[in-house]
Amino acid sequence: MVPTVEWKDGVVRILDQSQLPDKVEFVDCRDYETVGLAIKELWVRGAPAIGIAAAMGVALGAQAVKAADYDTFRKAVGAIGDHLAATRPTAVNLFWAIDRMKRRLDALKTEPIPVIKQKLIAEAQAILDEDIAMNRAIGKHGSAVIGDGQTILTHCNAGALATGGYGTALGVVRAAWEAGKKIRVVAGETRPVLQGSRLTAWELMQDGIPVTLITDNMAGTLMRRGEVHVCVVGADRITANGDVANKIGTYSLAVLAHAHDIPFYVAAPSSTVDLATLSGDQIPIEQRNPREVTHVRGKEAIAPEGVEVVNPAFDVTPAKLITGIITEKGIFKPGELADKMRSR
């Protein structure tokens, strides 16, 4: 699998996912502003991956800061973190990763600035490495809910491409596949940005895991025909009560799964859990450019000029529709998640 985000020879190298599946192209970000643009423009996307990219952006920006004393340095790096935090409002991993970088910076107060700069790179790298390890743990736990011969419906891309590697929802798929289960994935294309068709289908085909692509509105009829056994999706933010913000369309799938008695799982690292937010209705939902809806991939127009559009990037699935939340620490009921996270 190609790396989504990596620190390479002093630059942050980001796979430009907006070009997939046509082209596998990388952007070498030489300043933190370019990392911010990469997040905003969805060259890198997926809650864990944007957290990693932001952490690397903080480390990259820190290298260029010319400061004689710690306080000046701290202030400049803090501002870089704030800039990166303003790129997208919904995924909590973004804020989590930037906060972690700032905490690390605080802890390194007594070190010489050149040493701090090196240790910030190491911290960003640690966030990436830990993410992959967490995804493997998520996969290991989650594999238990996937039966041999089952078909898994997923939405958007919660795969290697959305993370440091291996994936969350697709980590569960990969772990089941690696355990020898004969499974199949149904990938919803995920309008408007088509992460399902462009990324999930591509990623699974690269690994030889059977995948069938559908338009989002086909999910219900497949469920009714008994052709979906379990749903597994990722998350951009999970609130204290177990509500889940994820890619637009997730809520509709959860309602459909509930109506057909199909288990509905959310797979996410604990950095996605936002205990400070009590319930899903308090999550800010990013409204994106109407052009994502009216044009396909920014080019082909598919709607009349000037039509009114709404384009929420995410929706909220209430805890009651979620069978379980698969984390690196195990699988929990949405209602018990907060306690489990606090006791870690």
Smallest distance from the beta carbon of 43 to a second copy, in angstroms?
A: 17
Residue recorded with tokens 């078909």: 151
Nearest residue to 280 via CA among 326, 312, 304: 312
Contact 204, 198 (CB under 8 A): no
Report the amino acid identity of residue 314. F
Smallest distance from the beta carbon of 191 to a second copy, in angstroms?
A: 4
Query: Rounded distance, CA 120 to CA 115, Å?
Result: 9
Smallest distance from the beta carbon of 47 to a second copy, in angstroms?
A: 18
Q: Which residues pair with 331 in a beta bridge?
A: 326
Query: Rounded distance, CA 147 to CA 160, Å?
Result: 22
Query: Rounded distance, CA 163 to CA 159, Å?
Result: 7
Nearer to a second copy, 107 or 259 (CB): 259
Element (H, E) at 254: helix 250-259
DSSP 219: H
Q: Considering all CA atoms of the chain, what is the largest pairwise distance in Å, rounded to the nearest integer? A: 67
Smallest distance from the beta carbon of 245 to a second copy, in angstroms?
A: 11
- Catalytic member of 131, 236, 274, 315: 236
Nearer to a second copy, 67 or 293 (CB): 293
Nearer to a second copy, 61 or 334 (CB): 334
Smallest distance from the beta carbon of 216 to a second copy, in angstroms?
A: 4
Binding site for a second copy (CB under 8 A): 21-22, 188-192, 194, 197-198, 201-202, 205, 210-222, 224, 248-249, 251-252, 255-256, 258-259, 293-294, 296-297, 299-310, 312, 315-316
Would residue 339 show up in a list of annotated catalytic residues for this protein?
no
Nearer to a second copy, 135 or 190 (CB): 190
Other beta carbons within 10 angstroms of residue 136's beta carbon come to 18
Nearer to a second copy, 72 or 217 (CB): 217
Q: Which residues pair with 326 in a beta bridge?
A: 267, 331
Positions marked catalytic: 236
